[in-house]
Amino acid sequence: MSGWHHRHIIDLATFSRENYAAVLELAHRFRSLPMTGARKLPALQGRLVATLFFEPSTRTRSSFELAAKRLSADVQSFSPSSSALSKGESVLDTARTYVAMGADVLVVRHRSTGVPQQLSEDLEQAGERTVILNGGDGLHSHPSQGLLDLYTLARYFDPAHPLPESLQGKRIVIVGDILHSRVARSNLWALTACGAEVVLCGPPSLLPDAFAAFVDAPPPGQATDPVPNRGRIVIERSLERALPGADAVMTLRLQKERMGQQLLTDLERYYRDFGLNHQRLRLCERSVPVLHPGPVNRGIEMAGELLDDKSICLVEDQVRNGVPIRMALLYLMASAETPDMTPAAMA
């Protein structure tokens, strides 16, 4: 894959438009392949993918495991509650244990920002070939979610050619708890890279003004931004101003477990001001899709009837698209390691 230089995938800040295109193209090919019964692709035969989730997950963990199995990898799950963590073993030593068992890829989720990055640096220093794929760390990054959201939107706007350019000039509204959301941060990098204007909407306690400049500085560790002419970020404090002209609306889970202070005292008021329902969406001027990374708090971020309305709500599409996106990431990481691996391996 020309232009693919990512060994570990920690966040999307360093992704170029070509990188997004490579992931979306490959995911689209994987999505169109029949995957029922015993039909698997041999691309990762003999490789071991271990999922080290130190924080709960339904979607990300299961879809990484399914993606790895569909590419014929061996898959090893780690369960914190029944592991030696309770005997005092550290996260780093836990990861090293899976490396010693021959893991080629560690998919890592942790409640603290920086753990996947730290593990990747440790593995590099030790000269290990194992690569780290970030399954979500603290408030920092959830790259595979950002990519599957991008793919879901690209498919909605251009079903035949779901590529980064389908987002050019679109107005995407992201509502809710931006402050505590690694999903929002990954979406900001991805959507602006593809030329979308992102409108952030939420109360000041969950959406500080500083988010307007989130993509303005070069990504950490980079002298320049790999993406020229990113789309801009706009902050609106009310849905009445944010929704008119929207092309899509994404709402986010209120992350009560990450709220150290009493940032939100009144959930009924939150729903009244920022909750989505059919009536509210009429402000958009036309029918627009609604996304949510899940898990959803029904009646808080959105009405249950909206979540269940498949004609508007793309939540199930997001989940479905998570598998081919994660197949694409695993495939690209393996092909970066084995340069002679060609798309023929997908046949």
Task: Using CB under 6 A, list all residues that contact ligand CP.
Answer: 57-60, 136, 145, 293-295
Task: Report, in Å, the least distance between residue 265 CB and ligand CP.
Answer: 25
Task: Report, in Å, the least distance between residue 57 CB and ligand CP.
Answer: 3
Query: Which residue's structure tokens are 């090893």?
Result: 76
Cβ-based nearer residue to ligand CP, 60 or 141 = 60
Cβ-based nearer residue to ligand CP, 60 or 94 = 60
Cβ-based nearer residue to ligand CP, 118 or 318 = 318
Task: Report, in Å, the least distance between residue 167 CB and ligand CP.
Answer: 20
Task: Report, in Å, the least distance between residue 262 CB and ligand CP.
Answer: 24
Q: Rounded to an integer, what distance in angstroms lies between the CA atom of residue 335 and that of residue 249?
A: 35
Task: Report, in Å, the least distance between residue 253 CB and ligand CP.
Answer: 8
Cβ-based nearer residue to ligand CP, 46 or 56 = 56
Task: Report, in Å, the least distance between residue 145 CB and ligand CP.
Answer: 5
CB 59 within 8 A of CB 322: yes
Cβ-based nearer residue to ligand CP, 72 or 112 = 112
Cβ-based nearer residue to ligand CP, 17 or 326 = 326
Cβ-based nearer residue to ligand CP, 9 or 163 = 9
Task: Report, in Å, the least distance between residue 229 CB and ligand CP.
Answer: 29
Query: Which residue's structure tokens are 């914190």?
Result: 80
